[in-house]
Structure 1
Amino acid sequence: MPTSPAHRAGRPGAARLGLLAALLLLPACGAAAEDGAGAGDGGAGATAAPGTADGSTAGGAPATGTTASPSTGTAVPTSPVPTVDDTDVVTDPGYGVEDPGEKDAEPGTDEAGTDEPEEEPGPAAADVVLTWSGWDGASGQVQAGGYVTGVVEAGGTCTLTLRSGGQAVTGTAPAEPDASTTVCAVGVDGAGLGSGTWTAVLGYRSDAAAGSSDEREVEVP
């Protein structure tokens, strides 16, 4: 059905009213959006604090003396690592030290390695033979004589020892070498002897040989 001119003129007026209302609402929506964004930023900024579990300060420098615990994020104090001083290491004083008692003993030393004096060899044993003995009234002595078998040397000493009970009297004389032996002739003064039976022993000693004869009885008047 054909419209009247008055009806067509009324539609453009309604459209303009709707557009005007939309333009009025736009500034209000923008302000509301900015208020909401500011509130969100403020809430996020409130959770950050210097020196927290991320190990940093407000200036961005790492916190000193603490480490972050991997499970809780709580700062844990760190302890210095002890150092070892070489002078404190105790070593075995016996290590590498040779035991003196274990080393081989050298000639002339004992097992500990100390010097041990060597014994000087003594004179060899000599066979002394008493050939005669008796009282000599002319000299007032008991005299005896003999020889040393297999020894020919000068410088030895001959000894005649007379014993009776607990008493002992001794006389000495130098020995004399002969062709094959060393000869002894010794006397003991009778002034120191009492009357009775005495036992006589002839002895010999030198640097090379020493020995004594068998006993023989001698009567003193």
Structure 2
Amino acid sequence: MISSAGTRKIHNSLNLVVGIQILIWLITGCYMVLMDINFIRGQHLIAPTQTAVIAADTVKVQPADIQSRLGPISSLRLLAHPSGPAYLVNHNERSLLISAVDGRTLPDTLNRDQAIEAALARFNGAGELITAALLETPPDEVSWITPPVWQVSFTGVGEPRLYLNAQTGELISKRHNYWQVFDLFWMLHIMDYDTRENIHNPLLQIAASLALISALSGIVLLWVSRRRRPL
């Protein structure tokens, strides 16, 4: 049977090992609980989604016209492009933008003015435009996006940023500095320093088990000390 001194030694040793991580859990947990998740996700930055209205009389080219020109296509979608209505066509494992007005093939990438126009149409914040940059390597906060991507930044709380599809101008993601803090704290909280997704990683399981043992040993010590206290 482990003595009181042995229990105290185990308790103190475990506190040295997991004490800092327990403090990190408390700090990061408080931040994540206190912050509104919709704010973190940037919902306040985006105007309510409205279906783009494309006037029927502006669509001069029909899908059949495109298919007869290109041959078999995987998919086709009509969308509101900054240069006018256009079809996004998947053909031979490649995405093409074809004007629905005159049938010409549009550039694969929006220019800066078009990207800004598309961003302003979606932005709902109070800030003003700072920069618009076409990125060939997305930053870590949107590393999952296939480049190139337009990053349009604004002034305001948290320095909001919109990320747009470089070909169509459609919104892919929105980020701000409070999201970056949340993402960092989430990584520290779940102790997944690689993908920041795996809440069942061995490091977290070991730390949680040691913290539990430390807490239980503290309870045992408290119970023993109370029993020894004279009445």
Give the TM-score taking structure 1 as reference length.
0.26
Structure 1 or 2: more helix by fraction: 2
Task: Point out which structure has higher relative CO (alpha carbons under 8 A, 6+ apart).
Answer: 2
Give the TM-score taking structure 2 as reference length.
0.25
